Chains A and B, each alone.
Chain A
Amino acid sequence: MISSDVIRGYNDTMILYMLLGGESYGYEISKNIRRLSEEKYVMKETTLYSAFTRLEKNGYIASFHKDGESGKRRTYYRITEEGLAYYREKCSEWQVTQEVVNKFIKET
């Protein structure tokens, strides 16, 4: 499992990515992140919800209530235009970050 310190700056990006394919709710997002990371990264509950709050405050995501497939009423999130722009920004930032860090990484 990856340490949460290393990945901290990209939690928001991961959540936004998960919403690119359409609206989703807390557990589904967290489950998909785990699945996509091949069980190497599990986002803690508190990390997930502080990210939701932060993203919504910045206008990158919007929340609404909806009854899920199981009939349970849930809070759903969807990505906004601003969120999409922010996501793209983070992607190019990661490209540069990766390039830079890679210069200092070698197989020993």
Chain B
Amino acid sequence: MDVLHAYLDSLFAPWPRTAQVLNLKREMLDTMEDKYEELKQDGKSEHEAIGIVISEFGSIDELMHELGILPAAETGEEISISEQQALQYEQIVRRSSRLQAIGWLSILFGVAATMVVAALNEHGAFGSWSGGQAYLLALIALFVFVVPAIGLFIASGSGKERYKMLEGDFELSPGAKSKTEQHMEAFRPVHSRGIVIAACLGTLSPVALLIAGIRGEGQLPYGAAIMLALLGGAIALFAYVGGIQGGFQRLLQLGEYTREKKEENRVINRIAAVVWPIAFVVFFVSGFVYQRWDVNWAIFPITAVLFAAIGGVYSMRRKSKGRA
């Protein structure tokens, strides 16, 4: 009798302990015990009786499939991502990367336009305009670019909240995994081309400043504006291809999205949420209040370098702590 009990226990172990399943298990045990008793009465040995009962049990997987019950592991903490969910997430990531790229382009163009307007004003291009009017124009130029950019950033986040579970631990279904791997492979050439072009734009951008500097100090703001526009192109490209690549990596839990890295990135993202807005505030205050448009753009490369350094130090410390 205990053998039958233990046999059913082991068979039911992987399945969720819902009322329906427990009920089913109890009823099946009853039936098996009835059968066992009768076989014994028919003169079968205990050993034989148990053998027959077990051989006539059937397939528990088939039964659970019929009842539409999933193994406990699949309904528990480990979330499973289906093929359809993975494809949908990919679509959302592509769309949001595109919106973010346009957003970055718009912001950098806006800042560049503001600098051009300010510089033109400095050089008396607006003739009889008062300083206030010229600054109003600069502000308008900024808002025309920056406000839609903010809208784009907000829009880029929509749809993603349904995939919050990807930030935690999850499991990709086999179909979803192979599909995502295929798509990532197909995206590889686009990704590397994008990164190369973006890197070229980024590296070339200071040349504009250099040329402007050679042509005279008065030209510097124009050079800086061109540099920012080029940087805008570079950042937009990085955001686009990097965002899509990041989506694939997140699904496949590669690179920045392995389980250990996820925790690290959560901390670094919190730092970024503070550092970058401060950089923008410094930029605008030094520009509009102190009118140092000629040098204040340097805040962005400086922040970028500092931020990279902070992130680097943090992950190094984490790694050494992990080893200790």
Binds B, one of A14-22, A49-57, A78-86, A89-97: A49-57
Contact of B58 among A26, A45, A54, A74 (CB under 8 A): A45
The A-B contact count (CB < 8 A) is: 52
Whether B58 and A47, one on each chain, are in contact in the complex, defined by CB atoms closer than 8 angstroms, is yes
Bound CA–CA A54/B65 (angstroms): 12
Smallest beta-carbon distance A6→chain B, Å: 16
Identity of the chain B residue whose Cβ is nearest the Cβ of A26 in the assembled complex = B31
Whether A72 and B30, one on each chain, are in contact in the complex, defined by CB atoms closer than 8 angstroms, is yes
Task: Tell me, yes or no, whether B35 is within 8 Å of chain A by CB.
Answer: yes
> Given the interface contacts A45-B28, A53-B67, does A27 sit within 8 Å of B58 by beta carbon?
no
Chain B residues 27-62 with CB under 8 Å of chain A are 27-28, 30-32, 34-35, 38, 56-60, 62
Task: Tell me, yes or no, whether A66 is within 8 Å of chain B by CB.
Answer: no
Whether A74 and B66, one on each chain, are in contact in the complex, defined by CB atoms closer than 8 angstroms, is no
Whether B67 and A50, one on each chain, are in contact in the complex, defined by CB atoms closer than 8 angstroms, is yes
**When each residue 20-53 of chain A gets 1 if its CB lies under 8 Å from chain B and 0 otherwise, what string results?**
0000011100110000000000101111111001
> Given the interface contacts A27-B31, A31-B38, does A44 sit within 8 Å of B56 by beta carbon?
yes
> Given the interface contacts A42-B56, A45-B57, does A50 sit within 8 Å of B62 by beta carbon?
yes
Smallest beta-carbon distance B308→chain A, Å: 59
Task: Tell me, yes or no, whether B24 is within 8 Å of chain A by CB.
Answer: yes
Smallest beta-carbon distance B22→chain A, Å: 13
Contact of B30 among A27, A46, A47, A50 (CB under 8 A): A27
Whether B67 and A45, one on each chain, are in contact in the complex, defined by CB atoms closer than 8 angstroms, is no
Bound CA–CA A72/B59 (angstroms): 27
Bound CA–CA A46/B32 (angstroms): 11
28 sample A-B contacts, Cβ–Cβ < 8 Å, listed by A number: A25-B31, A26-B28, A26-B34, A27-B30, A30-B31, A42-B56, A44-B56, A44-B57, A44-B58, A45-B28, A45-B31, A45-B56, A45-B57, A46-B58, A46-B59, A46-B63, A47-B63, A49-B24, A49-B27, A49-B63, A50-B62, A50-B63, A50-B66, A53-B24, A53-B66, A53-B67, A54-B66, A72-B30
Q: Please give the residue numbers on chain B whose beta carbons come within 8 Å of chain A beta carbons, in ascending order.
A: 24, 27-28, 30-32, 34-35, 38, 56-60, 62-63, 66-67
A25-B31, A46-B62 given; 19 more Cβ-contact pairs under 8 Å: A26-B28, A26-B30, A26-B31, A27-B31, A27-B35, A30-B35, A31-B35, A44-B59, A45-B28, A45-B58, A46-B57, A46-B63, A47-B58, A49-B24, A49-B28, A49-B63, A50-B62, A53-B66, A75-B27
